[in-house]
Amino acid sequence: MSSGTTELAWFKSSYSGSQGDDCVEVAFAEQGVHVRDSKDVSRPAFAVGREGWGEFVRFVSEG
């Protein structure tokens, strides 16, 4: 799942801290969801399919 990550619309979680706390950014694309480290955007991002992302979000939301 490769797409130019520079042309994606990245956003941080609403749970992100305002003091530069550890956080990830995500960007939605037709092929799936891209994820990267918000403090070091020069590191490669990774992508997961929409189904995998949905499973991850459900797992996290269940605590």
3-class secondary structure for the chain? CCCCHHHCCCEECCCCCCCCCCCEEEEECCCCEEEEECCCCCCCCEEECHHHHHHHHHHHHCC
Across 29-57, average pLDDT? 90
Predicted TM-score (pTM) of the model is 0.72
Mean pLDDT of 33-48: 90
Q: How confident is the model at residue 2 (pLDDT cuts 50, 70, 90)?
A: very low
What tokens appear for 26 in the block?
Answer: 């995500």
Predicted pLDDT at 21: 64
Report d(CA 17, CA 21) in Å as an integer: 5
What mean pLDDT comes out for the span 46-54?
93
pLDDT of 3 reads: 46
Q: Which whole number is the average pLDDT over 25-39?
A: 90
